Structure 1
Amino acid sequence: MDTPRFRTLGGLAVREGGAEHAPRGPKLGALLALLVLRPGRTVGMDALVDELWGDHPPRGAVATVRTHVYHLRRALREDLGEGADRFLVTRPPGYAADIVPEEVDATRFTRAAERARLLLAEGRADRAYTEAGAGLELWRGRPLADVRTGRALSGVAQRLEEVRLQLLTVRIEARMLQGRYTELLPELRDLVAAHPLNEPFHAFLIEALHRSGRRGDALGAFHRLSSVLDEELGLEPSERARRLRQVILTDPVPGRAGTVDPAGAVGTAETVGAVGAAGAR
């Protein structure tokens, strides 16, 4: 897959040939990010002013936005060469990034997540695993990590973080459907440590341990989930997690253990192919 021209996952950057431009200054970065993340769409002046200054815009904010656009275009030409700024077009009542959505890594990322979820829902675990992996390869870190985000961009960054959790969940579930339980254990432990309140990740770890023949470790993982929920939120594990524990206690054969869809009910090993993509809490 070719490299996206516009990078937003991790730091913000524009690539042109072998050169790269990273915005200098918080306002230019926010301006570029807002336009790039709405490819082909006009972003009105009100939205631009709100993103750059929130509830406290300066006098002459509209004129200042125009000045920032001028400086952004000049910076793009300096770093990437003449004509590199032509994608930034004036389109009343504001501006637009006249680009193809697939040129933006965030667009590819979210579309990969959509395809992976559909493939998994169709029971095509191998394809779902490959598609989810391709999407996750685009991840370079926290979205817009070097941009001072306002209301709109903060919301976009948060949604992209959620998409990453969904992609991870789809990839793990596809691997579970393939029966690769032991291989998943290191990744699942890391995810549980990074997202201690995410029950689907805990459920995957518990099941993978049991189906790897480590029944005691699986029960220990359930008790750790119970403890963290109680200490952090004053809650008990969900009914789905409790049903998984019951399956482990009553089923002596790991190969036939109940399989939990974190977004749905407990199934059996024979019906696991029908499990849909799970959402991350």
Structure 2
Amino acid sequence: MDIRTGVLGPLTMTVDGTSVVPTAAKPRKVLALLAVRVGQVVPVPVILEELWGGHPPASALTTLQTYILQLRRLLDAALPAGVSAKRVLRTAFGGYQLDIDPDTTDTAAFERYGATGIRAMDLGDPETAERLLRQAAAIWRGPALVDVEIGPRLEADVRYLEERRMAMLERRIDADLAIGRHTELLSELAALTSEHRLNERLCEQYMRALHRCGRSVDALSAYRRIRRDLVGELALEPGPGLRELERAILGAAAVPTAARGRAQLVP
């Protein structure tokens, strides 16, 4: 029996290749909440908050039990004979649990490739790091839980997953820069810094790539843009890493290899 779940893109859950994802919005939300927390007991109040915010109806508990029954029926139709859906979607003290191997989830695969890639980078092997971090990125099939109506609890989960995705992307770009793929990165970094205008790490990487391609004027323009946006929108000055990089480019000095610190409040 092979049960797999995916939240890095559209919600998926399959039993031996057969989908058990419901079409109705609220049961999908329940399954998504359980799938993000595979192996953990999700308390009933957490599920109720996700479904109805701070104002659950009087029938909320009964309705939730109906959603769980619907999910178990889908599971029963796909599970091998003799395996009960209650063994997979368990009723636990105070809540419910998707009791499957966490290693079969796409989040586990993403973190596994990512952690191994970062370790390779730390050991001075950017080629291996770049390959593994690209494999981690390839696991994503779109924005996390893109086809689920997100409530307050899932919103925090999705934000965390997207932040992990961005962190791995930044480390992969570090590996590409270490390999010397400055020219190949320019168009990707131009798009990323346009989409994430206040991300200092991406701007620094873009400035490094531009500078190493002989486009120091464009690198300084990128600095001026992010400084304008940080000051105008957040009343923040760029952090010391970006400021040091700007000074190095202006002075034609050796460009430092790593950022240090974040934005600081404008005096």
Question: TM tier, shorter chain?
Answer: 0.7 to 0.9
Aligned to 2:129: 128
Task: Give the SS at the match of 1:102.
Answer: helix
**Could you tell me how far 1:167 is from its partner in structure 2?**
0.6
**Could you tell me how far 1:117 is from its partner in structure 2?**
2.9
| Equivalent residues of 2:134, 2:172 under 8 A apart | yes
**Relative to 1, partners in 2 of residues 1:199 and 1:31: Cα closer, same or farther, differing over 3 Å?**
same
Letter in 2 for 1:262: A
Q: Which moved more, 1:173-182 or 1:160-169?
A: 173-182
**Relative to 1, partners in 2 of residues 1:217 and 1:18: Cα closer, same or farther, differing over 3 Å?**
same
| Equivalent residues of 2:3, 2:16 under 8 A apart | no
**Could you tell me how far 1:220 is from its partner in structure 2?**
2.0
Q: For structure 2, which runs of at least 5 residues remain unmatched after alignment? A: 263-267
- 1:91 to 2:88 alignment: no
Distance 2:174 2:228 in 1: 25
**Relative to 1, partners in 2 of residues 1:167 and 1:178: Cα closer, same or farther, differing over 3 Å?**
same
Distance 1:35 1:89 in 2: 11
**Superposed CA offset, 1:88-138 (max 9, x none):** 122233221111112111222233333333332333322221221111011
**Could you tell me how far 1:57 is from its partner in structure 2?**
1.5
| Equivalent residues of 2:4, 2:15 under 8 A apart | yes
**Relative to 1, partners in 2 of residues 1:185 and 1:4: Cα closer, same or farther, differing over 3 Å?**
farther
Task: Give the SS at the match of 2:96.
Answer: strand
Distance 2:94 2:3 in 1: 28
| Equivalent residues of 1:244, 1:260 under 8 A apart | no
**Superposed CA offset, 1:32-68 (max 9, x none):** 1111122222222232222222211222422221111
TM normalised by structure 1 equals 0.83
Superposition map of 1:18-97 within 5 A: 18-77=17-76, 80=78, 85=85, 87-97=88-98
Distance 2:111 2:149 in 1: 22
Q: Which moved more, 1:20-29 or 1:83-92?
A: 83-92
**Superposed CA offset, 1:67-103 (max 9, x none):** 111112223455x466694521222332211111121
| Equivalent residues of 1:16, 1:84 under 8 A apart | no
- Aligned CA-pair RMSD: 2.4
Letter in 1 for 2:49: D
Distance 1:4 1:99 in 2: 7
| Equivalent residues of 1:222, 1:245 under 8 A apart | yes
**Could you tell me how far 1:143 is from its partner in structure 2?**
1.0
Q: Percent identity?
A: 36
Task: Give the SS at the match of 2:236.
Answer: coil
Letter in 1 for 2:29: A
Letter in 1 for 2:171: V
Distance 2:259 2:189 in 1: 14
Q: Which moved more, 1:61-70 or 1:43-52?
A: 43-52
Aligned to 1:111: 112
Letter in 2 for 1:259: P
| Equivalent residues of 2:182, 2:212 under 8 A apart | yes
Q: Which has the higher contact order (CA 8 A, sep 6+)?
A: 1
Distance 1:4 1:242 in 2: 50
Letter in 1 for 2:193: V
Aligned to 2:258: 261
| Equivalent residues of 2:9, 2:143 under 8 A apart | yes
Task: Give the SS at the match of 1:197.
Answer: coil
Letter in 1 for 2:55: H
Superposition map of 1:204-215 within 5 A: 204-215=205-216
Distance 1:130 1:10 in 2: 21
Q: For structure 1, which runs of at least 5 residues remain unmatched after alignment? A: 266-281
| Equivalent residues of 1:128, 1:174 under 8 A apart | yes
Aligned to 2:265: none
Distance 2:106 2:4 in 1: 8
Aligned to 1:8: 7
Aligned to 1:203: 204
